[in-house]
Structure 1
Amino acid sequence: MVEARVAAFEHQVQALYLYDPESARQQAKASTERWAKGETLGMLDGIPVTIKELIATKGHPVPLGTAATELTAAASDAPAAARLREDGAVIFAKTTCPDYGMLSSGLSSFHPLSRNPWNLTQNPGGSSAGAASAAASSFGPLHIGTDIGGSIRLPAGWTGLFGFKPSQGRIPVDPFFVGRCAGPMTRTVEDSAIAMATLSRPDWRDATSLPPNAFDWVDLDIDVRGMKIGLMLDAGIGISLDDEVRAAVTAAAKRFEAAGAEIVEVAPVLTRTMLDGLDSFWRARFWGDIETMPDERKELILPYIFEWAKGGASVSGVEAVRGFNQTIEMRKACAKLFSGVDAVLSPTNPIVSYPADWASPTNDPLKPFEHIGYTVPWNMSEQPAASINCGFSRSGMPIGLQIVGPRFADLLVLKLSHAFEQWTGGVTNWPEPRLTP
């Protein structure tokens, strides 16, 4: 089934890297033999999985989405890949991402342009672009992405998926960076919940890794009566919210209200000072990574990314620290909001879609983060957040609802998401390959 879907659709969406059907068949055969003997390794034994290219897999290069990387084989599996192998998952491919994972786009100087399967002229978002395209194209049930400012939720919203960014440390990552998480991208909430039992096991390589948990990840029942849920329709900064997105998210909130929750409109947590500070810090940090790179390799970096990064050369050390301090301000603002609500609903993305060959929804390297106002605060506050489909635009593109919970309340976010999916019936008509001349 997966091989047939890839054969039919991959040439259009271009979601995969290192696709290896022969290895997948061997892994599947070993899993079948384990099942026959009653010696399965875990819940995911035999389940087809893709992993975002940024997540290292032993023996494979990690290009980081850019032609500027010198390709060398990874010495070991990163935590997410290691946990999947321990439980017998069939890793049949990795998925594409933009240069250094620094764009919400399927545009890369290394990988082919990844496209949104709902409309091939449109962008899947990013930076987990290939994971989103693969999942929405039905290339198997489970796809692992990463998220530092919305890179799981943003593409999930634009492709109709359920995408889950857990609490910091719930799924260990290596290398770690402030706000960086890994998480599942799936067509149903339950598929992500099943994966969490495997992915959430600790790993010493991530110093934020949380202790072992005994959660029943598939116990998704919840009664929302009496819950106080905030509705955030204003991100505070950035791209204006599309009317269609506003209407879909407002209708979603009414579903929770009809089920007995109290819905209260809440103010944004993000300010221009916060976002600009984060931009300065990220530019300085990234410029520090590439400053000593030979000029011939710098020239291979996607021009949009390089133009953005060059701004880091003029950021002083003091300015970089001030920028980093804005992540603390985000954390404080999020904590204050959650002192008065049990959860928050918001749009995932402010707009319905944008062209496939754009580097970001603004396509402007001077304004690279105007679309992450709803998503980035929860990375810095280390809170769990998910995107789930809440409708479609008149043009037929998916619209994402973001559901945010208190720090460490990962199960609550999954339960609320599952409840919403049950009320709406979820997405049932996934994209099919386009007929070509």
Structure 2
Amino acid sequence: MPEPYQLTATQLLAGYRTHTFSPSEVAGALVEHINRWEPHINALYAYQPDAFIKAAEASTQRWAKDEPNGALDGVPVTLKELIATKGMPVPVGTGLGEQAPATEDAPPAARLAEDNALLLAKTTCPDFGMLSSGLSSFHGLTRNPWDLACNTGGSSAGAGAAAAAGLGPLHVGTDIGGSVRLPAAWCGVVGFKPTLGRIPIDPYYVGRCAGPMSRCIEDAALMMTALARTDRRDAMRLPPEKIDWMDLGLDIKGLRVGVMMEAGCGLPLDDEIRHQVEQAAKHLEAAGATLVPLAPVLTREMLDGLDHFWQARQWSELLKLSAEEREQVLPAILAWADGGARLSGVDAVQGFQQTMMMRRATESVFDEVDAVISPTTPNIAFPAEWPSPTNDPRQPFEHIAYTVPWNMGEQPAISLNAGFSSGDMPIGVQLVGSRFADHFVLKLARLLEERLALPMRWPTLPTDKVGAQ
């Protein structure tokens, strides 16, 4: 039998029902596993094992009476630290500013608590969630479990590392330009960005979504049963809809799948990634889909415009800090965001208008096809200490060209592991559907996951303290 930390959430629930093991037994084994891994990868924030064990004991008592309370009762879960939990500050990767404890759970935290998932910890993120990196001025450096010398990506850095290392089966990240899917790809796990508003979130913003991160599609679907419940605090939420998220069967005969191998701008695509994505597309073709070559949706003008808009937005956030506090922010963030101080109001508005151009371009794709398959990232790996794959604060978004258009267009997109490189690093493949087709995207991903039939692999626990924080 696999170790408890290797079991999926659905397997844990099945074991609880049959009394094969209890939430307390799982929690105890998981704490031991975390004690071995966490010094190497630094994925967790506000980890409170005693409170976790106590909550598991209460869940064990409910299951012993065959009276679980909630669909996730006793299943360990983490939340990205940007997702507020009552009584805990939200350091946004910096720990600067007032740092008052949150007065209530944000919607994703509230939904999981309602289902009695066991909150194991929060997970790390870079400063302001504005880097695709495991580097943070507050949390320190989060490393990739597959190779401690490599980056996790971000900004859901800790969630990607925790999922890959088996620090619980369920994790929730946030994504405004690829921050769920990018670390999922670089860490070899599943990362799902739903249609904007499908999972209520607070604070809400253009393109900002919460999303499941897990080791399999079924667990991502299981999380959607909780996370997709409505919450009026999100004024951009979708209307409530009855969806059987666990129904993952799909016949794709006659489906038109667009193959988008080029991003339109940004970093060039690595040949090994190209090969793996092409192979994944052939699996869909073998299942009955028709493959349709697609041109990129993103242009240089779009990406640069978004960069300017985000610079202005980030500079406005930095102005809320004192001069002394600003000096404590990561140099890469400061070197990038200070460009916002030199942009005019017209520049910022013109930059924002490029998000509308992305929306138009992405939506028009689905006049031709039912779904899109593409790489998730252009590169396989980059050094752990770098703030981005370019290591250039003036070009921090060259790696998000495959992911960010679907945030601005609001379409659901998922990354899953397509295989491993010659250097044994994970390679992600992305699937995208039209707006509101979240359930379809999960079904398509499950079909591809089954067709790929990758053997379960786990990172090797380091035997020394290299990379320990």
Tell me if both proteins adopt one fold, taking TM over 0.5 as the criterion.
yes
Which AA in structure 2 matches 1:309? A
Aligned to 2:115: 87
Q: CA deviation at 1:291?
A: 1.8
8 Å contact 2:420–2:426 — kept in the other structure? yes
Which AA in structure 1 matches 2:105? D
Question: Which of 57, 73, 84 is the matching residue for 1:45?
Answer: 73
Aligned to 2:55: 27
Aligned to 1:434: 462
- Aligned pairs for 1:274-293 (under 5 A) are 274-293=302-321
Question: Which of 394, 404, 426 is the matching residue for 1:398?
Answer: 426
Moved more, 68-77 or 307-316: 68-77
Which AA in structure 2 matches 1:81? A
1: CA distance, partners of 2:455 / 2:197: 30
Question: Which of 321, 324, 334 is the matching residue for 2:352?
Answer: 324
Question: Which of 235, 241, 247 is the matching residue for 1:219?
Answer: 247
**Cα distance change of structure 1 residues 356 and 427 upon mapping to structure 2, 3 Å threshold:** farther
Aligned to 1:126: 154
Q: CA deviation at 1:38?
A: 3.6
SS in 2 for 1:164: strand
Aligned to 2:218: 190
Q: CA deviation at 1:423?
A: 1.1
Which AA in structure 1 matches 2:299? T
1: CA distance, partners of 2:319 / 2:140: 26
2: CA distance, partners of 1:121 / 1:292: 35
Aligned to 1:55: 83
2: CA distance, partners of 1:427 / 1:169: 34
Which AA in structure 1 matches 2:41? V
Aligned to 2:103: 75
Aligned to 1:273: 301
SS in 2 for 1:344: strand
2: CA distance, partners of 1:285 / 1:23: 37
8 Å contact 1:67–1:300 — kept in the other structure? no
Question: Which of 348, 363, 366 is the matching residue for 1:338?
Answer: 366
SS in 1 for 2:192: strand
Which AA in structure 1 matches 2:178? G
- Aligned pairs for 1:163-242 (under 5 A) are 163-242=191-270
Could you give the per-residue CA deviations for residues 143-183 of structure 1, whole angstroms, max 9, x where no partner exists?
00000000000000001101000000010110011000001
8 Å contact 1:231–1:344 — kept in the other structure? yes
8 Å contact 1:62–1:71 — kept in the other structure? yes
Q: CA deviation at 1:46?
A: 0.7
Aligned to 1:4: 32
2: CA distance, partners of 1:319 / 1:281: 8
Q: CA deviation at 1:292?
A: 4.2
Q: CA deviation at 1:328?
A: 0.5
Aligned to 1:104: 132
8 Å contact 1:5–1:137 — kept in the other structure? no
Which AA in structure 2 matches 1:342? D
2: CA distance, partners of 1:321 / 1:205: 27
8 Å contact 2:280–2:452 — kept in the other structure? no
1: CA distance, partners of 2:317 / 2:221: 36
Instruction: Answer yes or no: is 1:409 the counterpart of 2:418.
Output: no
**Cα distance change of structure 1 residues 211 and 426 upon mapping to structure 2, 3 Å threshold:** farther
8 Å contact 1:115–1:123 — kept in the other structure? yes
Moved more, 29-38 or 257-266: 29-38
- Aligned pairs for 1:333-372 (under 5 A) are 333-372=361-400
Equivalent pairs counted in the alignment come to: 437
1: CA distance, partners of 2:238 / 2:53: 34
Moved more, 64-73 or 76-85: 64-73
Moved more, 25-34 or 266-275: 25-34
Which AA in structure 1 matches 2:151? N
Q: CA deviation at 1:40?
A: 2.2
2: CA distance, partners of 1:109 / 1:261: 46
8 Å contact 1:188–1:426 — kept in the other structure? no
Task: Give the ranges of 4+ consecutive aligned residues of structure 1 lying more than 4 Å apart after TM superposition.
Answer: none
Question: Which of 263, 271, 285 is the matching residue for 1:257?
Answer: 285
Could you give the per-residue CA deviations for residues 355-394 of structure 1, whole angstroms, max 9, x where no partner exists?
0000000010110100000000000111100000111110
Q: CA deviation at 1:338?
A: 1.0
Which AA in structure 1 matches 2:121? A
**Cα distance change of structure 1 residues 427 and 160 upon mapping to structure 2, 3 Å threshold:** farther
2: CA distance, partners of 1:293 / 1:113: 23
1: CA distance, partners of 2:238 / 2:32: 39
2: CA distance, partners of 1:63 / 1:187: 27
Q: Flag structure 1 segments of 5+ consecutive residues without an equivalent.
A: none
Aligned to 2:446: 418
Could you give the per-residue CA deviations for residues 205-234 of structure 1, whole angstroms, max 9, x where no partner exists?
111111222111011011111000000000
Aligned to 2:12: none
2: CA distance, partners of 1:265 / 1:76: 47
2: CA distance, partners of 1:213 / 1:347: 30
Question: Which of 382, 385, 393 is the matching residue for 2:413?
Answer: 385
Which AA in structure 2 matches 1:154? L
Q: CA deviation at 1:83?
A: 0.4
SS in 2 for 1:418: helix
Q: CA deviation at 1:427?
A: 4.9
Aligned to 1:298: 326
2: CA distance, partners of 1:259 / 1:289: 48
Aligned to 2:166: 138
SS in 2 for 1:120: strand
Question: What TM-score, normalized by structure 1, do the two folds share?
Answer: 0.99
2: CA distance, partners of 1:292 / 1:63: 14
Q: CA deviation at 1:404?
A: 0.2
RMSD: 1.0
8 Å contact 2:97–2:321 — kept in the other structure? no
8 Å contact 1:283–1:308 — kept in the other structure? yes
Aligned to 1:14: 42
% identical aligned pairs: 58
